Amino acid sequence: MKKDLLIQIEVPENVTVSLDGSNLNVKGPEGNLTKELKIGKVEVKIEGKNIVLEYKKATKNEKKLMNTASSHINNMIRGVQKKFEYYLKICYVHFPFTLKIEGKKVMIKNFLGEKIDRVFELPDGVEVELKKEIIIVKSPDKYLAGQASANFETATRVKGRDRRIFQDGIYITEKDGKKI
């Protein structure tokens, strides 16, 4: 059954939003984000202090697209107001390992006694703080903060050993205020 659907997203006072073709630009006190909205024939427009997603005679698929787009837009608005924070914990039982951050490059030394450092790159737009055994990843983009946190976890994945015994690694303990 086809319906006319309309989703309105309120924009706070300290956030400015502009639409350039299919690119949505959101600027706030913590930074600015740009995202290309590929949502088919769904019409996106800015009316005053609201972002409006509209589609005439929408089916289930258009409704799903509109809900996904509205979630992305809400995350962008929340991110430019207050950065998303992920907390990670360094855990080791057998070999103490160290973490060294130089710009965008992260080096993990002496993980499980390995002689070769484990190295990976951080995405642009991500800030990382080290406080002894706690790592704090901050970014206005929720997806970049999550990807950077996942990069820490995958860099310290244990291979070829029993995971029940070798529990060393870096693990996410808190995602945006929610304990795991």
DSSP 61-96: HHHHHHHHHHHHHHHHHHHHHS-EEEEEEEE-SSS-
Q: What is the domain extent for residue 91?
A: 84-179
Residue 75 and residue 89 in one domain: no
pLDDT at residue 1 above 80? no
Residue 156 and residue 134 in one domain: yes
Question: Which of the listed residues 17, 47, 81 is the one where a domain comes to its end?
Answer: 81
Which CATH number does the domain housing residue 92 bear?
3.90.930.12
**Residue 22 class from Cβ within 10 Å (0-12 exposed, 13-18 middle, 19+ buried)?**
exposed
- Provide the pLDDT for residue 109: 94
Residue 170 and residue 96 in one domain: yes
Contact call for residues 9 and 73 (beta carbons, < 8 A)? yes
> How high is the mean pLDDT of the chain?
92
- Provide the pLDDT for residue 131: 93
Q: How many domains in the chain?
A: 2
- Provide the pLDDT for residue 161: 86
Residue with token string 């244990």: 158
Residue 93 and residue 19 in one domain: no
Residues 6 or more apart whose Cβ sits within 8 Å of residue 133: 89, 90, 91
Q: For residue 128, name the pLDDT band (cuts at 50, 70, 90).
A: very high
Residue 66 and residue 104 in one domain: no
Q: What is the pLDDT of residues 132-175, one digit of tens each?
A: 899 999 999 999 999 999 999 999 998 888 888 888 999 999 99
Integer distance in angstroms from the first to the last C-alpha of the chain? 40
Residue 72 and residue 147 in one domain: no
Contact call for residues 19 and 45 (beta carbons, < 8 A)? yes
Max alpha carbon distance in the chain (Å)? 63
Q: What is the pLDDT of residues 43-68, one digit of tens each?
A: 899 998 999 999 998 899 889 999 99
